[in-house]
Amino acid sequence: SIDDRWKKLAEIHKQLSFFEKNCKFSPYLCGDIVTHADLTVFPTTVFMEFMLPRVFGWPPIFTEKDTQFPRLSKWAMYMKENHPHFRKARSDCYNFWIVKEEQGNSSLSSSKSKTTPSTNGSTLEQLSIYNASFITFYFIASRGFGVL
């Protein structure tokens, strides 16, 4: 239902707000070294960067212009700019979604009003089915943790 979708979007916002408020960002989520937190949150940000503007009409997220989550955005940009493995993982995962979109997966884009979540019945389910965290984590892990 639309109410369920709004509740899920509110939960996403709540979780992002938690990270924005509580993480150290010095320069990584938990301090001065890459941790499991960076390895798991980063792929989720890639997925959100792609899906939230397309499906739910959010403004671009995790960019220099993201004023809603500036600290989280700065961290995501730092990871992409300073770590070739994260940059490659982001590119691979993001491009995976671009290909899906170009193949006509209509549930990846919404022509509905930007104030109303898509009601096609499959968009939120894809958040689980196409788990970007596993996809991107695989790319990072396959390139070796020792070189991060």
Q: What is the pLDDT of residues 38-81, one digit of tens each?
A: 988 898 899 899 988 888 888 888 887 777 899 999 999 999 99
Mean pLDDT of 104-118: 49
pLDDT of residue 8: 83
Query: In this predicted model, which residue has the larger pLDDT, 85 or 125?
Result: 85
pLDDT of residue 107: 56
pLDDT of residue 9: 84
pLDDT of residue 109: 53
Phi and psi, residue 28, nearest 5°: -100, 170
* C-alpha pair distances (Å), 129 with each of 62, 82, 125, 148: 23, 30, 6, 28
Highest mean pLDDT among 28-32, 104-108, 127-131: 28-32
Task: Please tell me whether the overall predicted TM-score, pTM, comes out greater than 0.85 for this model.
Answer: no
DSSP per-residue letters across 77-124: HHHHHH-HHHHHHHHHHHHHHHHHHHTT-GGGS--S-TTS---SS-HH
